[in-house]
Chain A
């Protein structure tokens, strides 16, 4: 099982590097993927038995080239990619490593000219080689539509001539932010997979690791990786023995993966050394504070409240405000939390599940009759059966309390 994971990761690393190398030169991502797809599939099926080759990229290139010759494929789209394939093959055969241009490819995927909704899927496909159907399921999109969106995005890259270069310093913060958000979205799409397959969550962490490897001095990249590791560390505690939902406050910290938390701590400290705060560092710091419960046995709500307040000022997202409201309620009582929630625009919270869950909890602790309705809304808006079961149970408890 572990060996399969290693094969998978090596194959993905090499695949992403090769797609990046070819498409950086041709600006044609689709042709690069096309030239490599069969070789990549062959790697995923033969490596588990034959073992990972010493130079995986050279192996992939040799197969890709052979397949291309066999099929006599030299369509107009592929010609540029073929020429680059040839050049890359010569380079690797001479023992030279390919330059790692995955950062350029990731930046292209998260380019402002690409529709926000397709940035993450595009990155998962081009950098990691995930297929459209897998991505479609994770993002709740029809496979045919996802396929079309990816094709359209790649055409846009080619036709608009989006450069694979790392942007000017002036543009950099904005471009990096888009890239970090796209990786974070991949984690969000994988968050609820609690069964054996935790596909996208692992892929997102992998992408964040690649990014930190490529940009070791970028504090927000470090912050994002730390955040994902803190969250992922709690996976074993998020469900009870019968698969029931366990809220963070009731989780048994002994079930948290300690080494993941320690790793996250290291990245967060590394980020903090730059003394340039940012959204992901705040979010990671909040999770770090929660993780301290494993050591101290209690939650430092004043610290968490301060961090949420900083985050809410930094991002002004509904999510940050809802988190802040929940934290404030712990230190100043439910009324203070409800007051923050009351200030959020109705149209932005109507379909936002965490808002209703926090509101329900706070109303319940204010002995308000409206708690029932809020629990019901929260239950109706979740797509996680375990969370729904938990919320309905809490709703039923309201009547037992009375």
Chain B
């Protein structure tokens, strides 16, 4: 489960960190507690904002390191959870409970089984 945010949220998050961000992280705390208590949480992390990103790729055989994320898309990866549930319906039900729903959205993807 990828948690994506709109970039505007990040700006917002930095600017008003002390006021609304407190409630936001409180909501995350509640959300991850609920998943842990339900016995489905397998891992995950929140990530720092896009300005903290550094990307690296190969271009014409040359390594190219850049400041910032890959693309200046509207949606940016804000964090992820790994949960284990029976099916997509159950995953979507948990995704809809994410506090990120108000500012961005949640992308749900099955883990690739090797």
Residue of A141, A380, A396 contacting most chain B CB atoms (<10 Å): A380
> Which of the segments A74-82, A263-271, A385-393 contacts the partner chain?
A385-393
In the complex, the answer to whether B27 meets A388 with C-beta atoms within 8 Å is: yes
- By a CB distance below 8 angstroms, the chain B residues around A395 are 26
Considering only CB atoms, which chain A residue lies closest to B96 in the complex?
A383
Within 8 A of B (CB), among A126-170: 140-142, 145
Q: Which of the listed residues B27, B38, B102 has the most CB atoms from chain A within 10 Å of its own CB?
A: B27
Q: Is A377 an interface residue (CB 8 A)?
A: yes
Chain A proximity of B45: nearest CB distance (Å): 18
Report the interface size for chain A: residues with CB under 8 A from the other chain: 20
Identify which of A142, A350, A383, A389 contacts B97 (C-beta below 8 A): A383
Residues of chain B lying within 8 A (CB to CB) of residue A37: none
Q: Does A379 contact B (CB under 8 A)?
A: yes
Min C-beta distance of B86 to chain A, whole Å:
13
Bitwise, A364-385 to B at CB < 8 A (1) or not (0) is: 0000000000001101111101
Main secondary structure, interface of B, reads helix
A351's contact among B31, B38, B99, B102, by CB below 8 Å, is which? B38
CB closest chain-A residue, reference B97: A383
Chain B residues positioned under 8 Å from A388 (CB to CB): 27, 30, 99
Would you call B89 an interface residue if the criterion is a C-beta within 8 Å of the partner chain's C-beta atoms?
yes
Contact status A380-B32, CB under 8 Å: yes
Given A350-B37, A380-B35, A385-B102 in contact, is the A140-B89 Cβ separation under 8 Å? Answer: yes
Are the CB atoms of B31 and A380 closer together than 8 Å? yes
Contact assessment for B30 and A142 in the assembled complex, using a CB-CB cutoff below 8 Å: no
Given known A388-B27, A392-B23, contact A140–B37 (CB-CB < 8 A): no
B8 at the interface (CB under 8 A from A): no
Q: Is B66 an interface residue (CB 8 A)?
A: no
Selected from B30, B89, B92, B96, the residue in CB contact (under 8 A) with A379 is B30
Q: CA separation between A350 and B34, bound complex, in Å?
A: 9
Does B15 have its Cβ within 8 Å of any Cβ on chain A? Answer: no
Q: Can you name the residue of chain B whose Cβ is closest to the Cβ of A192?
A: B96
B33 near A: Cβ within 8 Å? yes
Nearest A residue to B23, CB-CB: A392
Contact B27 A383 (CB under 8 A): no
Known: A385-B102, A388-B30. A145 touches B88 (CB 8 A): yes
Residue contact B101 to A377, C-beta cutoff 8 Å: no
Bound Cα distance A395, B27 (Å)? 11
Q: How far is the CB of B84 from chain A (nearest CB, A)?
A: 15
Indicate if the CB atoms of B26 and A140 lie closer than 8 Å: no
Which residue from chain B places its CB closest to the CB of A393 in the assembled complex? B23
Chain A residue nearest to B34 in the complex (CB): A380
Establish whether residues A140 and B93, one from each chain, have CB atoms under 8 Å apart when the complex forms: yes
| A370 CA / B101 CA spacing, docked (Å) | 28
Instruction: Tell whether, in the assembled complex, residue A380 and residue B97 are in contact, meaning their CB atoms are under 8 Å apart.
Output: yes
Minimum CB distance partner of A145 in chain B: B88
Residue of B nearest to A141 (CB): B89
Would A140 and B92 be within 8 Å (CB), given that A376-B29, A389-B23, A392-B23 are in contact? yes
How distant is the Cα of A250 from the Cα of B85 in the complex, in angstroms? 37
Let me know if A381 and B88 touch, CB within 8 A: no
Q: Are B92 and A350 in contact (CB under 8 A)?
A: no
Which B residues from 27 to 77 make CB contacts under 8 A with A? 27, 29-35, 37-38
A183 to B27, CA, bound (A): 33
**Roughly how many angstroms separate A396 CA and B26 CA in the complex, as a whole number?**
10
Cβ-defined contact, A381 with B23, below 8 A: no
Q: Are B37 and A377 in contact (CB under 8 A)?
A: yes
Chain A residues with Cβ under 8 A from B96's Cβ? 140, 383
Query: Which residues of chain A have a CB within 8 Å of any CB of chain B?
Result: 140-142, 145, 350-351, 376-377, 379-383, 385, 388-389, 391-392, 395-396
New contact pairs (16) apart from A350-B37, A380-B34, A380-B97, CB-CB < 8 Å: A140-B89, A140-B92, A141-B92, A145-B88, A145-B89, A376-B33, A377-B30, A377-B33, A379-B27, A379-B31, A380-B35, A381-B34, A383-B101, A388-B27, A388-B30, A389-B27
8 inter-chain pairs at a CB distance below 8 angstroms, sorted by A residue, are A140-B93, A142-B88, A145-B89, A380-B31, A380-B35, A383-B101, A392-B26, A395-B26
The 10 nearest A-B residue pairs measured at CB? A380-B34, A380-B30, A379-B30, A383-B96, A383-B97, A376-B30, A385-B102, A380-B31, A140-B92, A392-B26
